[in-house]
Structure 1
Amino acid sequence: MEKRKLVYNKWSLNIENYPTISSLSYAIYRSKYLIENMIPITSGKVFNWIKDSYTGGSTEMYIPYGKDVKVYDGTSLYPSQMKLNKFPVGPIYIFEGDVTILDKDKHYWIAGAEVKTKRDLDRPYLQIHHKTNGSVRTVALNGTFEMKIHCCEYYNSLDDYEISIKNGYLFHSEYIFKDFVDDVFKLRQSYAKDHPINLVCKLILNSLYGRFGMRLINNIQKFLSKQDFFKLTEDSNCEIEDFLDLGENGFFVNYIDNNIKNNDHKVCVAIASAVTAYGRVAMSIFKKIPDLKKNPGFIILYSDTDSAFIIGNLPEELIGNELGKFKLEYTFKEVVMLGPKLYMGITTDDKIVAKVKGFKNAKEINYDDFKSLLNENNVSLDLEHDKWFRNLQDSNITIKKQIYKLMKTENKRKLIYDDNGIAIGTEAFKKD
């Protein structure tokens, strides 16, 4: 009731009309902060081309084991970048050649480029979609490669990369999120951290940018009779993605209906991608700080979208409770990291902190068993957990015990072992 009243009193919106936080956030932005005809609509070839630059946050594991490791977390990193920076707006222009001759304060561009590291970097930070070990991952490489690069990443990386711009899309640039972020963040701060409204405001802040990157697909899931199913297959404007034959009961079908025109589904993937690009630029500061040999007071072991595990201390100017600053979450007495989103540690107050992507009960894993996987000869650890399985034909859900195979991963960087076969570091992949 309190959330409904707050949203209505502040933005004159009925929360019941918006089934998701992202739809509510988008409605709030449009109701008060959106300037008419400011946001460019990306669709078709433009959407598909720019989408390749939308690689999300950067998550890397550099050193798999550490003691006295401090975990710093950013305060609303993406919203802070939305407030501080200009974004692509207005008409969309196609360009070829050196776009950097234009005034970088007035324009925003996304370019296809050939990129080369000037030397082999310990922690390269320009990431692309790249196939490693049989699957496509977002990987930061050494060597020469092609990518779709945002102008903010271009100017941030010139010390470490040679970049040749080929072509791309050009926009004007304006501050479009400042008032929205200021208002919602101020509202969030007026409530205690454990208050539900604080969490609602946090979700509203962090959900808006993704709405601009939604794919324009009219996906429908429906039970159909056999007659209706065969009619659907004859409709040239419908694309069947998948279907399940239910025998005498017909079919369950997942399809795209291009007959539906959703005029409210207006997106700008350039803006969504730009938010994540600015976020990567902000986090690149951790990767640019000299390594332990050059600076005994600092070393980075792991970085996520808006957090970092380090030995040492952050510069004072980066620490604080303000938007975009970093705060110390906790300190590990000891921590093991087997890959991105795959770590387990013991804090200074003897609490277990663990994250194992795809496994629900990470804190219940035995720490010594987890740590044993640092040994090159220990390939995996078999864990058991409950998984839910849907059976559409029988209209039921069953819960079954299933084995989860916990393994160290080398999908994004190659592990380095010492003479005893213990993982002590990683190195970036190189593309020539």
Structure 2
Amino acid sequence: MRITMIGSGYVGLVSGACFSDFGHDVICVDKDAGKIEALEAGRMPIYEPGLEQLVAANVAAGRLTFSTDLAASVAGTDAVFIAVGTPSRRGDGHADLSYVFAATEEIAAAATGPTVVVTKSTVPVGTGDRVEAILREKRPDLDMPVVSNPEFLREGAAIGDFKRPDRIVIGTDDERARGVMRAVYRPLYLGESPIVFTGRRTSELIKYAANAFLATKITFINEIADLCEAVGADVKDVSRGIGLDNRIGKKFLHAGPGYGGSCFPKDTLALLKTAEDFETPMQIVEAVVKVNDSRKRAMGRKVLHALGDDAKGKTVALLGLTFKPNTDDMRDAPSIAIAQALDDAGVAVRAYDPEGMAAAKALMPALTYCRDAYEAATGADAVVIVTEWDAFRALDFARLKGVMAAPVMVDLRNVYARDGVEGAGFSYTAVGR
């Protein structure tokens, strides 16, 4: 199959590289000439474990190429995937679909024969209908069915998620389009990955419903963590106790500073806007968004409390800045709100992250950025674990204590056991324990 991927960001690049690894011929297109030039030179625009090697192998095999020329890339292709950004629109939280519709217009102008147009971008219900209307208006002479095929990739584990998915959702009622999509995903179908064929609008809603539900699980256990602190219980044991119930499941039941990243914040807002447009209130999701926003600020207050009555003039080391480990993504990361709360209180912040410091510097230029955890902790009155990178799971407590002004640890990810940290002479604050 010949596949064109429009958009070479996180979703487009990972999907394109994996499709090419299946044996398809893939062209990844992007308007950013600098990004395409970097990709052709083997430099990745994002950090994702294993991606650089996967791209290099398929470029060398001749199955994966990059281009800024959308017209030439679309001509004669079997399937065109739209994988452009859909950020939250300022003012109302609705997904900004301008990039999706611009790509659709260009596809219509460039297509030279029948092709299947696939929306891989996360889009609100009904977007596929609008994409189809544009194509029919611009090119009534061509058969270009529109398919919804949402992605379910976790940053930091995207390649594995793509190649060993829980499910593949394909939204279309067009038989020819179903056949093309079966051929595209044939390697996964042979591996018995379940394919869910459904209507296009249903497929679009599945993506939002999935992310809203996962965001709800995170927010639920964070509120349970607050109750655990109040009553003297341990949220880790509560999580395990309820997670072993297979009706609930253990995933996304880890208490922490709140969710962030490229999906949950914008997708919950977009779902709420869709519900508002269709006059169908979603009070649970509304509460999730509100609680998560306040959660991040509350973590800043937790750190200030650990510093004592007079925090002004003190120094804190933040370990981990990205919203989760194994990515360089800073979008809606809890570290941003925490750093702001500390700065507002007159606290100096020293920071270290294994992959996210370049992106963090653009958002938080006032922080002091360090080479490793121990440099960040030098002279600090408290060290705060914000993101659970592996590099922070086996810290040398003696070395850490030796460079700090005061032995205080705030563990916002519950990485450590209290006995071990306090046994090393630290004051220890965790979440929900």
Fold conserved (TM > 0.5)? Answer: no
More strand by share: 1
Higher RCO, Cα 8 Å, sep 6+ = 1
More helix by share: 2
